[in-house]
Amino acid sequence: MTERGPRPARPEDGVAWITGASSGIGRELARFLLDEGWTVALTARREAELQAFAQHYPAERVFVIPADVTDAPAMAAALARIEAEAGRPVALAIANAGVWRRMGLSDFDAEAFAHVMAVNVLGVANMLAAVLPGMRARRLGQIGIVASVAGYLGLPRASVYGASKAALIHMASSLRFEAAESGILVQVINPGFVATPMIAANTASKPFLLSAEAAALRIQRGLAGTGFEIAFPRPTVWLLKLARLLPWRWFFALGALARGRG
């Protein structure tokens, strides 16, 4: 039985806006969308990296709009600038900006926790607050929220990163109900380990590691459909989803064994 509801956005509907577009998944996804025929607006704090990417494409196809996602007025201004310069509305919004930080018992820090939440959660909220009114008025739009499989359940030393991604999964699933009634397609994107600058400092094991290009290709394919979740790679996704079904006692026991303490 196929799911009914809003359709995916198309290049003729307007502009694709990507945050966190200066590197990693955001930049590679921008490349794929441009090849697909989209006009793309790129947002990040590092304008030089955005300009370096944009110079390879016609000026009318790529708009460099630097902004800090944690600044709500700046994000609203960025949207206004995109739609004024492109002469078209934002039809596809990819909330991809994020930061990674390991945090456990010994280095738990409230200030660092707040910073990660400000970027990973409030940054997404600021983008959504900017684009949702227009999408609702047009009864057309598509939103992709980049979370992570780390948001499925608690993992060692992921007390802040996992919590931020769990919040995004919850946010996306909650908004999906009303969004569908307004003609807006909301999807959550849950990658596993992806080789990006964001996790370069992570020295832990990274099973089933994907390149940013491979991850972006999977996201592009998922955005062409209407399913709620775009998650990969499959072994990581299914392993963690099965772990969610375990009683807590079993889950923590297996976790202790995996860390060599069982």
* Catalytic residue annotation: 161
CA–CA distance, 55 with 40 (Å, rounded to integer) = 13
Two tokens, residue 144: 């992709």
Q: Check whether the bond before 233 is cis (ω within 30° of 0).
A: yes
Q: Is residue 54 classed exposed, middle or buried when 0-12, 13-18 and 19+ CB atoms within 10 A define those classes?
A: buried
DSSP 126-139: HHHHHHHHHHHHHT
Sign of the four-CA dihedral 101, 102, 106, 110: positive
Sign of the four-CA dihedral 202, 205, 207, 213: positive
Q: Which amino acid is at 208?
A: F
DSSP 173-193: HHHHHHHHHTTEEEEEEEE--
Rg of the chain, C-alpha, whole Å: 18
CA–CA distance, 200 with 240 (Å, rounded to integer) = 22
